[in-house]
Amino acid sequence: MTERVIHGVAGSVGFAVGRAVRTFDPLFVSFNLKLRPDRVRKEIDRFRQSVEKSREQLKRMQAELRRANGRESSFLIDAHLLVLEDRLFVDRIIEKIETDSINSEWAIQQVSDDLFQAYDRLDDEYLRERRGDLEDIVRRLLHNLQSTPLPTFKKLPYDAILIGKIVPPSTLFELRAQRVVGLATETGSPLSHTAIMARSLEIPAVMGVAALPEVSSGDLLIVDGDRGVVICSPSEETLLEYKSRNRDGRRTKKLAGASASSPSVTEDGVPVSLGANINFSEEVRSAIACGCESIGLYRTEFDFFREGRQPDEQSLVADYSLVLKTAKGAPVTFRTIDVGIDQKSWDGVNPNLGVRGLRFCLENTHVFKKQLRSLYRASVNGRMRILLPFVSTVDDLDAACEIIMDVRRELDLKRQRYDPRVPVGVMIETPAAAQTCDLMASRVDFFCLGTNDLIQYYLVIDRSDQSVVHLYNPFHPAILRCLDQVYGLLRPTGKSVTVCGEMAADPPSAAVLLGLGFTSLSVNLGAYARIKRMIRSVSMTQLRELAGDILKMQKPKEVEDKVRATVYRS
C-alpha cells in the first residue's frame, strides 16, 4: 500500500510505530492473540457460542417488540438476525480463526473492518445506513464473548496503537502494561482527559483524526504526537527517518533525567515549587522516584470509578492511605471527584457546562461524604490536602464546608482518628471563581489554578469540539489579564496558589506563569523534566519584565513569539 499521511491535533508528544488495534466500543478493546494449534477448535466453539447467544437475545427482543408494538416494529430485528446468518460475515470469521490461528475478537474486527469499508463505498444512501446494523451486531458479539473470556495473557504479540472514535482515559490506563505504544482518536483535543492520561503515561497521541475510520485493524502506523499526524503504511524511507529520531530522543531523555534531579531554582536564585499531577494511585511511586517534592494534583475520579462501580469506604481508606505512605512525607493534594468531563451526551447537553465537580458532589452528598470520610480517615498516614473542583459560587463553597464539618463531627462521634489540620482548598477553573477568589479566601487554606477549563470558559471554546479547538490559546490577552488579576486578588490574602493545568506543562506558557508571579507549578510526569530544565535556564527578573511587556500586547501571536524568543533565547 502507498504511504498516506492523515492530520489531526497533537495530543501527547513523541512518536510510535506499531499496528492498529481498533476499538469499536469504549467498553471493549479487542486484542490480537496468536493461538496454539490445539486451541483453534475451542476458539471456534467459543465464537459459535457468542453467535448463538446473540441470536437468542435478538429473538427475545423481537418477541417483546411484537407483544408491545405489533409485528411491524419487530421486523427491525430481522436485519440483525440476517447478519448472523450471512456467510460473508460468520463463515469468514470462522475461516479467519482457522487459517490465521487468532482469537475471535480479532477475527471479528478484521472481517467487519472490510465490510464497513464496502458499505462506505456504496452509492445507495439506504444501503450505506445498514452499516449501523453491522456495528450493533459486532458490539453484541464482542460483549457476549466476555462471558467466555480468553485465557489470561501478559503481552500483546506486537506493539499496539489504539485507534477509535474515542478511547476513555481509564481504558488507556488499564492497557498501559499491554504494550500499547500509541493512540489516535477521531474525536477529542489536547485538553481532553484522554490526552492528559496519554501524556501522564508518556504514550504518543494524536486526537481529532477525522480520516481515522479509513484505517483498519492490523495496519502498520506511525503516530507522531509532535506533528499531530498519523502515517499509514509508512515507506521504508519514512521508517528509517523515525528510527533515527528515536536514537536522538533517547539521548535527549538521558539529559532530561540528569536535569530532573537538580533543584528547581531559576538562574537568579528564585526557588520554584514543582509538583506532579497524577491520575492513578500507582503513579505516586514514579513521581517520588523522579524527585517530585509534592503531588500537586491527584485526580481521584479515575480510581474512584475504575471498576465501573463505586468502591466501598474501607477500600478507599486503604487506597488513600497507601498513596500517602508511598509519598514518603511529600504533601498530596487529593481533588474530590470531578465527573462529567469527556462524557458526551446525545441530547445535546454539554457536560462541561453541567453537573460536574462540586455541583455533582452537592447533588450526590452520599458519594461526597463517603469520599470525605475516607480521606479524613486516611489523613493520619501522611501530609494531605483536600481540593474542591469546579467551584463557581460562595454559596456552593459554604455548602461544601458545612458538609466537611458534618463529616468531621461524624468521625468525632465514632471516635475515629483523623488529622483535624488537613488544609481544604478551591480549584479556580471558572470565570466566576477567578473574579471572586478573594471572597473565598477567608473560607479555605489554599488555591489551585486549573488553566484547562479556565481558558475554555474565558474564550468560549469547547475543548472537545474539533471545529474550534485551534482557537484555544493560552497566550490570548484575555487569559493573561485574567491570570494577572487572580494573582493580584490573592496576593494580599497570603493564600498559596499552585497552577496545575496544562499551561504549566509547556515551557513557554509556564515561563509566563512564573513572570506573572506564580511560583508553584504542578505538571504531568511526562513534562516534569523539561519544566525543571526550563526553570533552571531562565532569570526571574527577566521573566517579570517579559510579563510586563506581554500584558500590553494585543494579539496572541505577538505574545507567543515574544515569549518563545525569551525562553529559547533565539
Catalytic residues: 193, 500
Whether the CA torsion 400, 401, 402, 407 is positive or negative: it is positive
Rounded CA-CA distance 292/447 in Å is 19
Rounded CA-CA distance 519/559 in Å is 21
Rounded CA-CA distance 336/334 in Å is 6
CA atoms within 13 A on the CB side of 22: 27
Residue type, 536: R
3-state SS assignment for residue 361 = helix
Rounded CA-CA distance 112/27 in Å is 18
Cα 527 to chain centroid distance, Å, stands at 15
Q: Give the torsion through C-alpha atoms of 235, 238, 242, 247, to 10 deg.
A: 100
Rounded CA-CA distance 420/413 in Å is 14
Rounded CA-CA distance 35/98 in Å is 10
Q: Give the torsion through C-alpha atoms of 189, 194, 196, 202, to 10 deg.
A: -110
H-type helices in 379-420, by residue range? Answer: 394-413
CB burial of residue 174 (10 Å; 0-12, 13-18, 19+): middle
Backbone angles phi, psi at 305, to 5 degrees: -110, 20
Residue type, 26: P
- Let me know: does 37 contact 97? Beta carbons within 8 Å: no
Cα 268 to chain centroid distance, Å, stands at 36
Secondary structure E strands in 217-264: 220-224, 229-232
Rounded CA-CA distance 287/277 in Å is 9
Q: What is the CA radius of gyration of the chain?
A: 26
Residue 534, phi-psi category: left (phi > 0), alpha (psi -120 to 50), beta (remainder): alpha
- Please provide the DSSP assignment of 269-337 as one string: S-B-EEEEEESSTTHHHHHHHTT-S-EEEEETHHHHTTTSSPPPHHHHHHHHHHHHHHTTT--EEEEPP
Cβ-based neighbours of 314, under 8 Å, separated by 6 or more: none
CA atoms within 13 A on the CB side of 204: 24
Angle between the N-to-C axes of helices 556-567 and 507-516, in degrees from 0 to 180, rounded to the nearest 10: 90
Residue type, 135: E
The C-alpha cell at 241 is 527517518
The C-alpha cell at 67 is 407483544
The C-alpha cell at 192 is 481532553
Please name the residue that has the C-alpha cell 533565539: 570
